[in-house]
A and B are shown apart, each in its own frame.
Chain A
C-alpha cells in the first residue's frame, strides 16, 4: 500500500526524488502500551509522507491509534520502533528542533483552565522567548484575530466550547509553527464553530503551513485534507486523496427507481449495455443500481435518453460518488462509529453493494 520501505536509512534526509519536500515523514512507527500483562499495539507500523504545505487527514475511529501517532510526531511519546522526521529533524534525537517548528492542539495539549485567556497566551509567548512588549503585542494580536479580546480577562473555564477551541488553536500558533498537529480539532463543536476552525486551518495552509489533522469525521477529512490515511487498529488500511479512496470502492454508482416494476429486466439490459457493468437488483422490485466504470461519465449521460427511448419511465435517478464511510465499511467490514449527522451528501449514502465489497 505504501512505497516506504522499512529498510530506509535513518540518515536519509533528502526529499523524495519527486514532489515537494516532506514536512512529516514516518516509517514503520510502532508504539506499544502495557497495562498489566496485556500489551496493546496502539500503533503497529505506520508510514507517512506528508508534503509541505498540505493538509493530511488521519481518519479513524476512537482507539485506532491516531492520537498516539500525533503524540510521537510531536515528541511527547518515544516510538518503540521505526522513525519519524518533522521538517527533516528526527523526533527522538532532534526533539528540540521539532518542538520549535510544530504547534499542537488537542485534548491532551491544552491551556490552563484556571488562568485567563490572556495569561495563558502570555505565558506561552514568554516560554517561546518573546519578552515584555513584544509578548503583549503578540498575544493581543492573536486574541483579536480569534475574537477573544473581550474574553481575554476571563478564566478559560468560563469559555464556551467554541471559544475554548479557539484559545487552544491560538495557543498553538504563538510561534507561527510551520507544522501544525490538530488532534480532533472540532470534536464536540457546533457546526458554526466547526466551520470557523476549518476556515482558520485553510488560511494557515494557504500561508504555507503543513497541517496534520486527526478526525473521526469523514466530512472533515473530505473538506480539509488533501490526502487521507484511514487507520484502524494502529495500521494504515488505506491512503490517498479523498477521490482516490472513493474510487477504490468504485467510481460511483447510479441508482434509479422505475415507475413500472415489470420493466426492470429490460432497464437492466439497457444499463448493462451502456455501462458495461452488471446492475444489481435490490429487493425493492422497482429499484435498480449499477457501478459506474472509471471511464463511464459519458455512458451515464446516455442512460436516461436510452431508457426514455425504450419507453421506460424513471421517476428517480441518482448518480452518487461513494462516501468515505463506504470506504471505511469496504475496507474494514464495519461502519465508522460515531458518525456525525448527515452532511447533505444525499445519494452517496447507499449501502455498498455486495459485488463491490468483495473486490
Chain B
C-alpha cells in the first residue's frame, strides 16, 4: 500500500501519455469480437470458481444416479453410466449456458457494458465475443464431465471421434440456446434474478426429458412433453454419436433447432441491447 503513497500524476507524463499523433483505424468486426472472446477467457482465468460452481451439481448427479439408482434402473451401474453420461453432459452444458446471461447482467449492473456501448465498434461484438468465450467454458465443462465418466466406467462405443462429434453438436446447440439467456440478462434487474428465472425454466426441461430414464414408463401426457422437449432430441442425438450409432434424423433436428433459436433470439437480444436504458 505504501508503495502508492507518493504516487502523483505529473502534468508532463500525463500530457505525453494522452497525446495521440495518429488515430488508429477502426478495427474490424472480427477483431473486436475476438477481443471480447479474449476477455471472456481472462474471466475464466481470474474467476475459476465460476466454473467450479457449475461442475459440482453434475458430479453429484452423476455419482448419485449411477450408484444409487443405476442398478435398479439399468441392471448394473456400468450399464447405467453408458446411458446416463451423455445425458448428464447435456444437462451440465445447458446449465452452464445460464452463466452467459448471468455474466451479461453482472456487466450491466456494474457499468462495464455501458462503456462497451459507448465505443465505436461493431454493435454485436460484446455479446458474440462473450458467447464465443463461453464456448471455451462449455468445452472445459465437457472435458471434466466426460473425464469423470471415464473414471467411473463410461466406455463410449463411438470412440474419440464419436465423443468429439457429440460434444461439438452440444456446443452448437448451447451457443444458440445462450441467446435466450442473453435476453433474460438484458431484461432482468439483477444477476440473481437471471439465475433464478433461468433455473425455473431449465429444471423442467432437463428433468422432463430422457436424460435420466427411458420415458417409456412415464404417464402418456408426460411422454408427449418429453417427445417434443428439445433437450430430449439433443440427448438422443448426442447419445447416438457417442455410442457409435448416429441418428441422422435427431442430429438434423438439433441443428435446425439451433438455427431457429439463433434466428429468433439473436435479433431480439441485439434489439434489447441497443435500446436498453
Contacts and interface: CB of A to CB of B under 8 A. Distances in A.
A134 interface: yes
B43 A104 contact: no
A266 interface: no
| A: interface residue count bin | 35 or more
Given A130-B24, A144-B17, A150-B3, A166 B9 contact: yes
A4 B265 CA distance: 43
B110 A200 contact: no
A119 B35 CA distance: 11
A115 B110 contact: no
Contacts, number: 132
A76 B117 contact: yes
Nearest to A125: B24
Nearest to A137: B17
B220 interface: no
A113 interface: yes
Contacts of A277: none
A7 interface: no
Nearest to A96: B120
Contacts of B14: 145-146, 200, 203
A169 to B, nearest CB: 9
B118 A114 contact: no
A76 B27 CA distance: 21
Contacts of B4: 147, 150-151, 160, 163
B263 to A, nearest CB: 26
B110 A110 contact: yes
Interface residues of B, number: 44
Contacts of B39: 112, 115, 119, 123
Interface stretch (A171-179, A212-220, A246-254, A285-293): A171-179
Given A102-B118, A147-B9, A129 B17 contact: no
Contacts of B115: 104, 109-111, 124, 171
Interface string A93-113: 000110110101011111111
Contacts of A207: 15, 18-19
Given A96-B120, A142-B18, A203-B11, 5 more contacts: A75-B118, A109-B118, A124-B119, A141-B17, A166-B9
15 contacts: A102-B118, A104-B118, A106-B111, A112-B43, A115-B39, A119-B39, A127-B119, A129-B27, A130-B24, A173-B17, A176-B23, A196-B8, A196-B9, A203-B14, A203-B15
Interface of A: 33, 71, 74-78, 96-97, 99-100, 102, 104, 106-116, 119, 123-124, 126-131, 134, 141-142, 144-147, 150-151, 155, 160, 163, 166, 171, 173, 175-176, 196, 199-200, 203-204, 207
Interface of B: 1, 3-4, 7-11, 13-20, 23-27, 31-32, 35, 38-39, 42-43, 46-47, 107, 110-112, 114-121, 275, 277
